Amino acid sequence: MTTPAAAVRRILVVDDEPALTRTVKLVLEQTPHYQVETLNDPNLAVEVARKFQPDLILLDVMMPGKDGGEVAAELRDDPLTRRVPIVFLTAAVQAPEVDSRGGVIGGFAFIAKPVSRVTLIQAIEQNLPVQKGA
Amino acid sequence: MDTPIRVLLVGEVAALQPTVEQLQSTPDAFAAPLVVSPDSACEALAGPPVDVIVLDLPETIAEGAATLNRLRVCAPTLPILVLANAVDDEIAIAALQNGAEDYLVKGHREGPDLSRLIRSAIERKRVARSFRESEEFFRAISENLTELIAVIGPDGRRLYNSPSYRAVLGNPSLLVGTDSFEEIHPEDRPRVRAIFHETMVTGVGREAEFRFLLRDGRVRHIESRASVIQGEQGQPARLLVVSRDVTERKLAEADLREREEFFRLISDNMSDLVAVIDRDGRRLYNSPSYRAVFGDHDPALGSDSFAEIHPEDQARIRQVFRETLATGLGQRVIYRFLLKNGTERHVESLGSVIRDETGQVAKVVVVSRDITERQRSMQALRESQERFELVLRGSNDGIWDWNVLTNEVYFSPQWKAMLGYADHEIGNTFAAWEQLLHPDDRTRALATVQDYFSGQSPTYELEHRLRHKDGNYRWILARGVALRDPSGRPVRMGGSHVDLTERKAAEERLKAINERLEQREEELRLTIARLSQANEALNAAQFQLLQAARLELVGTLAAGVAHQVKNPLQTILLGLEYLTGTDAGKNPNVAAVLQDMTDAVRRADSTVREMLQFSSANQATMAARDLNGVVEDAARLVNYELQRNRVNLVRDLEPGLPLVRLDNNKIEQALVNLFINALHAMPDGGTLTVRTRRAARLTHETGVQRVMIQVEDTGTGIPAENLDKIFDTFFTTKPPGIGTGLGLNVTKRIIELHGGSIQIENRSEGGVRATLLLKVGASH
C-alpha cells in the first residue's frame, strides 16, 4: 500500500457531519500534500482505518452512537491502526484550554472547533510521523 | 311792848332791893321781878318764862365769869345785864367778854336808866338773834350747796369763798385776798379775765365756762354765772360768782360721746346688719351694712321691718318679735330676706331689748348676719360629708387617725374588722399597729412613714401585711395625709386601709399566668425564629438550587449550543477558506465578501466561547499554585493580541508569593477577560500593567493573608454612571461584535468562587484599575 507521491499524506477525517468532513477534505486537498478520506459513522472508523491506512486521523469527539474517545480506544486496540496519530477536532473544548495544554489533552492532540485552515494544517503537520525517506 | 317785861334778878335779895323798887315804880312796864340766888337761877329759869336776866355781879371776876357761864348755858338766848358795885372797867369788860349784854353801876344809873338798858338789851338780843338766824340760813344754804360761791373785789381778788371751794381749791378761808384768776387754766384765763372786766364795766353778769388747772395738775371744768353787787353810788363794787364743778358731767359727756362713737363705728363697720326697731316693728335705725345686702333698695327708716322678710317666714318672725316684746328675751332665728330682684338671702338674727325708764320694752335691737354663703357651704359640706360617709360605708375601707404627738390612733371598727377583731379588741395606739405588722415588712413600713414625714416622698402609700386574728397575714394598702404645724412637723395623720389580699392573690395568679404566657410566647418566638431561619435557609437553598439549576441548564444549553454551533462554524470557516483558495476567490469582490464572512464566523465563535465560560464559572478544581505563574500564562494567551494593538505589557510581579489554592484555568480566564477589557479600552495603544503583591494583613481578619493582583490600563476609563453596573450580566459598553457583556460578570464569579474580591475603579491619572484579592491557602 505504498503511494507513489511520497509527499502526499493520507488523512482520515471522522465526524458525524458530512458538511464538515467535506469542507475539511476540500481545504486539505486544495494543497498537494494531503489525500483525505472522510467518514461520518464512527462505528466504521476502525474498519475504514484498517482499509485506508491513514497517516493521521482527525477525530471528532462528540458523535451520536459512539464518541471520539471510544473510537480512539478501539483504534489503539487494533494492531493495524495502533500507531496512527489521532488529532481530536472538537467543539467540546475551548481553544484557550487546548492552547494552554500545548494542544495535548490526556495524551491526545486537540484542536478546538472552529479551526482555521492554517491552524488545522499546523496541527496535522506537528502530529504526522516523520516521513520515511524524507 | 305792851306786855310787861319779866325780869329775873340774880343775887342777894337785900342788895337787890333798890333795883326791885325801881322796877316796880313803873308797873306797866315791868312785871313783878323774881329774885333768886345765883345757885338757884337755873331752877328758876326752868319755871315761868322771863325776858331778861339781871345779875348782881359777885366780888371777884372769876366768880362772876362762872355765874355768867352757868346762866348762858341755862338760858342761851336770854339777854343778860350785869350790875357792878363800882365803876370797875376790868370787871365790866370781863363780864361783857363772858357774854353779858351790858352793865350799869349801882346807884348811878338806876331809875329810868335801868329800864332803858333792859329794853335796849332785849331789843339788841332780838335783833342779834334774828340776824344770827338769817346768817345761819344763808350759811346753811351756802355750805350745803355744791355750787361754788365767791365774792370778788373789783381788783379781781377774792373776798369770800363758800366752803364748797374746799373740794376744789382747798381751805376757803385761805383764799381770801388771793387772785381769783390764778387757778384758771392758762388757755382760758385771758377769756375769763375779759369777761370779768366787761362785767365790771357793764354791770351785767355773764355766764362763762372755763377750767381750773390745779396745783396737782388735775383739770376741773367749771361753769360760772356772775352777778354784780353795786356800791353805795350804784357803781359795780363786787362780783358774786356762782360756779359749778361740771368736770364729772363733762367727763361723762365725753365718755358718752366716745361710747356712742365706738358703737356707731362698730355698727357702721361690721358686716352684720344692725337694726333698731320700735314696739310696732318700724325701723328706727339701719346699719350701713344693710346696703351690702339690699343695694340701693335698703329698707327706709320708719318702714315696716317685716316687709323684707320672705312671705313664707313672716308669720314665724312676727311671732318671735311678739314673744321678745312680752318676755324681754331675744331669740336666735334663721329666716330669709326676699330681695327686690327675686333672690333670697338667708339671715340669722338675734334681738335684744332696750327698756325705757319704767322698765317696759321700748325698742328691739336686731343684729342679723347674712349666712347665705354659710348655708350654701354648710349644705355643700353636709352633702360632701354624706357622700364621704356613703363612700366609707360602701367601700369597706378602714379609717385611721393618728395623733403623732401622743401616738394615739383612732382605728375605725371597719379597720379592726378587716383583721378579724371587734372594736374593743385593739387598743387605740400606734403600738397596736406595730404589733400587727409582719416582721418582714416592719423596716420598710416604718421607713415609708419616715420618708413621708421628712418630705422625701410626697405621698404616703404603703402596701404591707398585718396579722389577722386567725393568724394569717392580710395584705393591706395604707394611704394617708399628714397635717403639719407651721414648721412642717407632722402633728396628725389620717388615712385609710384597703384589704389587698384578694387582689394580691389575683395578681399572683395573673403573674403566674403571665409568666407561663411569657414562657410560651418566648418558646413560640424561638420556634418562629427557628422557622424563619429555616425558611431563610430554605429560601437561600432554593435560590441556590434554582440558581444552580439555572446555571446547570445554561451550562448544558451552552455546551449543546456550542457543539451545535461550532460544527457549522467549522464547516463555514473551512468552506470560506476553500473558496478563498479557488479561482472565484481571486475576484476582489468575492475575496472581500469571504473575508467579512470569515470575521463573522470568528465573532460567533467568540460569543460561544464566552457563553461556555459563563456557564462553567461555578465549578472549580482547586490546587495550590504560584500566582505569578498563572499570571504569566494568562499574559501569554493575550500576548499576540496585545502586540497587534500596540499595547505594552508591564509585569510587576512580587517574587516569592505564598502559594494560593486556585483553579488555574478559571483564574487565567478571569485575568484574560480583564486583559481583553483593558485592550479594548486602549484602541490606540497604551500600557497594560499587571501587578502582584502580598496584601497588607487586615487587622479584623487576623491570620488571613491575602495576595493582590492589579490590572491597570491607560485607556478611556469607565463613565461614572456605569461604575455600579459593570458587573451586571450582559452589560457592555463595547460595540456589537466586540463584547457580550459577560466578561466581567464571569470574572467576578470566578473570584468569588475562590472566596476573593474584585474591585474596579477609575485611576486618578486616567484609565481603569482592577484589584483582585485572593486568600492565601483558601479553598473551596
Q: What confidence tens digit (pLDDT) does each residue in B504-537 have?
A: 888 888 888 888 888 888 888 888 888 887 777 7
- The SS3 assignment for B329 reads coil
Least Cα distance to B448 among B495, B416, B412 occurs for B495
Place of cell 461614572: B720
Quick check: A2 pLDDT over 50?
no
Residue A5, Cβ density class (10 Å: 0-12 exposed, 13-18 middle, ≥19 buried): exposed
DSSP B456-475: SSSSEEEEEEEE-TTS-EEE
Q: How far apart are CA B730 and CA B740, in angstroms?
A: 6
CA distance A114 to chain B (A): 4
- pLDDT-wise least confident of A78-82, B281-285, B321-325, B527-531: B527-531
Distance of CA B596 to the CA centre of its chain: 110
Name the least confident of B559-563, B633-637, B765-769.
B559-563
Name which residue leads in pLDDT, B698 or A131: A131
Which residues pair with residue B84 across a beta bridge?
Answer: B105
Residue type, A64: P
What's phi and psi for B733, nearest 5 deg? -105, 0
Per-residue pLDDT, B186: 92
- If one counts every other C-beta atom within 10 angstroms of the C-beta of residue B324, the result is 21
Average confidence (pLDDT) over B391-395: 65
- pLDDT at B314 (0 to 100): 92
The whole-number pLDDT of residue A53 equals: 92
Dihedral sign computed on CA atoms, order A51, A52, A53, A58: negative
User: Which residue would you say has higher pLDDT here, A5 or B390?
Assistant: B390
Whether pLDDT at B389 is above 60: yes
pLDDT at A30 over 70: yes
Contacts of A75 (CB under 8 A, 6+ apart): A45, A46, A49, A57, A81, A82, A84, A86
In the DSSP assignment, the letter for residue A55 is S
- List chain B residues with CB under 8 Å of A100: 633, 637, 665, 668
For residue A32, give how far its alpha carbon lies from the nearest alpha carbon of chain B (Å): 13
| Residues of A in Cβ contact (< 8 Å) with B571 | 17, 19-20, 23
At residue B64, the pLDDT reads 79
pLDDT grade for B277, boundaries at 50, 70 and 90: very high
Mean of per-residue pLDDT scores for chain B: 83
Residues B571, A95: C-beta atoms closer than 8 Å: no
Are the C-beta atoms of residues B193 and B186 closer than 8 Å to each other?
no
Q: Please give the backbone phi and psi of residue B468, each rounded to the nearest 5 degrees, phi first.
A: -80, 160
Whether B639 contacts B715, CB under 8 Å = no
- pLDDT confidence bin for A52, thresholds 50/70/90: very high
For residue B701, pLDDT beyond 70: no
pLDDT single digits (tens) B282-314: 999 888 888 888 887 788 888 898 988 999 999
Question: Does B581 sit within 8 Å of A114, measured CB to CB?
Answer: no
pLDDT band at A1 (very low <50, low <70, confident <90, very high): very low
* Helix H or strand E segment including B425: none
pLDDT at B88: 67
Start-to-end CA distance of chain B, whole Å, equals 192
The number of helix segments (H) and strand segments (E) in chain B equals 19, 27
B573 and A115 in contact by Cβ < 8 A?
Answer: yes
Residue B39 pLDDT class (50, 70, 90 cuts): confident
With both helix axes pointing from N to C terminus, report the angle between B89-97 and B61-74 in degrees, rounded to the nearest 10: 30
Closest of B623, B690, B604, B685 to residue B654, by C-alpha: B690
Radius of gyration of chain B (CA): 77
Measured CA to CA in angstroms, residue B504 lies from B445, B476, B477, B499, B740 at distances of: 18, 10, 10, 9, 77
Taking the CA of residue A6 and the nearest CA in chain B, the distance in Å comes to 24
Which residues from A are below 8 Å from B578, CB to CB?
A: 23, 26-27, 30, 117
Diameter of chain B measured on Cα atoms: 247
- Rounded to whole angstroms, the Cα distance separating B743 from B749 reads 10
Q: Is the pLDDT of residue B145 over 50?
A: yes
- By three-state DSSP, how is residue A79 classified? coil
Please write down the HEC assignment for all residues of B111-124: CHHHHHHHHHHHHH
For residue A86, give the C-alpha cell: 489521532
Partners of B440 in the beta sheet?
none
Contacts of B601 in chain A (CB under 8 A): 114
Q: How far apart are CA B288 and CA A84, in angstroms?
A: 152
Cross-strand bridge partners of residue B368: B273, B349
Contact B571 A23 (CB under 8 A): yes
Instruction: Tell me how far apart the alpha carbons of residues B353 and B359 are, in angstroms, rounded to a whole number.
Output: 11
Q: How confident is the model at residue B371 (pLDDT cuts 50, 70, 90)?
A: confident
Task: Report how far residue B247's alpha carbon sits from residue B221's, in angstroms, rounded to the nearest whole number.
Answer: 4
* Whole-number Å distance between alpha carbons of A23 and A36: 11
DSSP per position, B184-203:
B-TTTHHHHHHHHHHHHHH-
Closest Cα to residue B753, out of B562, B606, B613, B608?
B613
**Chain B environment of A24 (Cβ under 8 Å):** 574
pLDDT tens digits along B593-626: 888 888 888 888 877 777 776 666 556 677 888 8
In this structure, the strands spanning B647-653 and B686-694 are parallel
Instruction: Please judge whether A96 and B669 are an interchain contact, meaning their C-beta atoms are less than 8 angstroms apart.
Output: yes
| Structure-block grid coordinates of residue B638 | 493575550
Rounded CA separation B412/B495 (Å): 11
* Residue B62 scores a pLDDT above 70: yes
CB of A87 closer than 8 Å to CB of A58: yes
Q: Please report the pLDDT score of residue B777 as a whole number.
A: 64
Distances (CA, A) of B346 to A116, B369, B636: 131, 8, 122
**What pLDDT score was predicted for residue A50?**
93
The answer to whether A15 and A57 have CB atoms below 8 angstroms apart is no
Residue B414: which pLDDT band, with cuts at 50, 70 and 90?
A: confident
B573 to chain A, closest Cα gap in Å: 7
Classify B486 as helix, strand or coil.
Answer: coil
Residue in A closest to B559 by C-alpha: A92
Q: What is the DSSP string of B646-681?
A: TEEEEEEE-TTPPPEEE-HHHHHHHHHHHHHHHHHH
Dihedral-angle region of residue B11 (phi above 0 means left; psi in -120 to 50 means alpha; beta otherwise): left
Which pLDDT band, with edges at 50, 70 and 90, does B730 fall under?
Answer: low
Please say if the pLDDT value at position B700 is more than 60: no
Cα distance between residue B646 and residue B162, in whole Å: 168
Q: Is B335's pLDDT higher than 90?
A: yes
pTM of the predicted model, to two decimals? Answer: 0.33
Helix, strand, or coil here: A123?
Answer: helix
Using CA of residue B442, residue B447, residue B452, residue B457, what is the dihedral sign? negative
**Using CA atoms, how far apart are residues A102 and B145, in angstroms rounded to an integer?**
177
Residue A37, C-beta contacts closer than 8 angstroms, at least 6 positions apart? A10, A11, A12, A13, A48, A52, A54
pLDDT exceeds 60 at position B641: yes
Q: In the Cβ-directed half-sphere of A21, how many Cα atoms lie within 13 Å?
A: 21
Show the cell assigned to B692.
502582584
Pairing of strands B408-411, B332-338: unpaired
SS (H, E, C) B71-96: HHHHCCCCCEEEEECCCCHHHHHHHH
Q: How far apart are CA B89 and CA B72, in angstroms?
A: 22
Residue B424 DSSP SS3: helix
- The alpha-carbon gap from A120 to the nearest alpha carbon of chain B, in Å, equals 10
Least confident stretch, A13-27, A43-57, B575-589, B688-702: B688-702
On whether the CB atoms of residues B729 and B742 are closer than 8 A, the answer is yes
**Nearest CA to CA, how far is A79 from chain B (Å)?**
31
Does residue A132 sit in helix, strand or coil?
coil
Identify the DSSP state of B299.
P
d(CA B403, CA B482): 10
Chain B CB contacts of A117 under 8 Å are 574, 577-578
pLDDT of B350 strictly over 70: yes
All three cell numbers of B244: 359749778
- Which helix H or strand E contains B720, and what residues bound it? none
- Given a cut of 60, whether residue A38 has pLDDT beyond it is yes
**A37 pLDDT more than 90:** yes
Evaluate if residue B367 carries a pLDDT over 80: yes
B464 and B445 in contact (C-beta within 8 Å)? yes
| pLDDT tier, A3 (very low <50, low <70, confident <90, very high otherwise) | very low
pLDDT at position B741 over 60: no
What 3-state DSSP class applies to B760? Answer: strand
Instruction: Check pLDDT > 90 for residue A13.
Output: yes
Which residue from B616, B486, B504 is spatially nearest to B554, judged by alpha carbons?
B616
- pLDDT over 90 for what percent of chain B? 14
Chain B window 658-687: which residues touch A at a Cβ cutoff of 8 Å? 665, 668-669, 672
Q: Which three cell numbers stand for residue B705?
A: 493573608
Q: Is B625 on the interface with A (CB under 8 A)?
A: no
CA–CA distance, B721 with B541 (Å, rounded to integer): 34
Instruction: Note whether B609 contacts A95, CB cutoff 8 Å.
Output: yes
Contact A77, A84 (CB under 8 A): no
Please tell me the predicted confidence (pLDDT) of residue B779. Answer: 42
Cβ neighbours around B312 below 10 Å, total: 11
| CB < 8 Å & 24+ apart, contacts of B100-103 | B100/B55, B100/B68, B101/B125, B103/B57
